[in-house]
Amino acid sequence: MEASRSDEPNLTIGFSVFTALLSAWALTFSIGGEQLFGPVWDKLVMYNVADRLGLSGLA
- Rg (alpha carbons) of the chain, rounded to whole number: 18
One-letter amino acid of 24 = A
Report the predicted TM-score, pTM, of the whole model to 2 decimal places: 0.49
Its domain, for residue 37, covers 8-53
In-domain check, residue 44? yes
More confident residue, 2 or 21: 21
5-46, pLDDT tens digit by residue? 777 888 999 999 999 999 988 887 788 777 777 777 766 666
Structurally, how many domains does the chain consist of? 1
Other CB atoms within 10 A of residue 37 CB: 14
- Give the pLDDT band (50/70/90) at residue 58: low
For residue 48, is pLDDT > 90? Answer: no
Give a yes or no: residue 59 inside a domain: no
